[in-house]
Amino acid sequence: MIDSRTPSATLQLADSSGCSLPIAAPPRHSSDDSQHSPSEDKFATTRRSVHTATIPLPLLLSAGQFPLRYGRYEISRLLGEGEMGSVYLARDTQLNREVAIKVSKVAENPGSIDRFAREARIMAKLQHPNICPIYDCGESDGARYFTMPYIEGRTLAESLSQGPPRSNRRIAALICQLAMALEVAHQGAVVHRDLKPGNIMIKPTGEPIIMDFGVAKALDGGSIATLNGEMLGTPAYMPPEQALGQCDLIGPATDIYSLGAVMYQLLAGRVPFDGKLVTVLMQIVADEPPPPSHFNPEVDDQLEAICLKAMSKSIDLRFSTAVELAESLSEYLASDGDCVSEQLGKQFVPLPLRNRSEFIPKS
């Protein structure tokens, strides 16, 4: 397609996979299509050869020239980078909506392609307003990608960088919502395994969204990127069984501990254990964290007890389910007539303490 609105036109060259690149076209010297110069003929030949070429997604992104087109997606800019891959802002041209497209690094192990596809299938079945869904997934020249909603806002980690919130009740409301979302994941036989402030988006409304199930574990007989003795996750927020690489013990209680560690950081203004990697792992296994009130005297005793129970070393001493944690937080919020909606500034019904089916989306 030649855009004739400017003297130096832009030519979109589509390859056989639907990929296209902007290429500068020479100016049109005459409206008479019967007159062609040798250079124009050469350009036309080049156009035909590029049209049939396959341009892999990693090659497109490595050029770093935005915007660019890949299949149905117009990728406009880089949003962020991580150990596992990069996230870009894009527009789905078929559905005319903004999306975030996450592109992994080129796979060295072909089996990781299968694990990525399995992750996408697992995420597709988790339906909850506080869990980020997956729209689409695919593979290009050894790199995997998937698309998801583009969520405006910032991560909880970015919010914490400006100082922790000092409202006990607002913290309780936030963790309560996250616990309910985790309950849906657990009911769907999925454990996140890397719950941390960097994987929690906070929308402008204050609503939290759980992101990035990249190292999630399936509890239905399979797993994603799981090997016994392998440590997956972020040390500051992982429980003892995860720090020891005891994958057979990882389950819903693992996420409950991690959510408790996030809650700890919100209350205390710091992570439970800090230092070099080996030191942190040893402390996670052997030491009890100082109570949050040691660092923040304004922490409520009841809320502190809930936090420390979630972070118990023993799986048996933690909350048995995420919904049990949510119920304890709801009771705390309701103790003086408060509720989650008043803390988050959004419509929300306080938790029914004995009706756990309310946490599961109705089919």
Is residue 41 annotated as a catalytic residue, yes or no? no
Extended strands (E) in the chain: 10-14, 20-24, 68-70, 73-81, 85-92, 97-104, 136-140, 143-149, 154-155, 190-191, 200-202, 208-210, 217-218
φ/ψ (deg, to 5) at 136: -155, 160
SS3 83: coil
Do β-strands 217-218 and 10-14 pair in parallel, antiparallel, or remain unpaired? unpaired
Rounded to the nearest 10°, the torsion over CA 60, 65, 68, 74 is 110
CA-CA distance, 100 to 107, in Å (whole number)?
A: 21
Q: What angle do CA 157, 158, 160 make, to 5 degrees?
A: 65
Of the residues 194, 212, 274, 300, only one is catalytic, namely 194
Residues 6+ positions from 4 with CB-CB distance below 8 Å: 28
Q: What does DSSP assign to residue 71?
A: T
Residue type present at position 201: M
CA-CA distance, 188 to 171, in Å (whole number)?
A: 26
Long-range Cβ contacts of 106-113 (<8 Å, 24+ apart): 106/58, 106/141, 106/142, 106/143, 107/142, 107/143, 107/144, 112/144, 112/225, 113/139, 113/144
Q: What angle do CA 165, 200, 69 make, to 5 degrees?
A: 135
Reported as half-sphere exposure (CB side, CA atoms, 13 A), residue 301 has a value of: 0
CA-CA distance, 153 to 146, in Å (whole number)?
A: 20
Q: What does DSSP assign to residue 108?
A: S
**Bond preceding residue 149 cis, omega within 30 of 0:** no
Q: Point out the residues that are catalytic.
A: 194
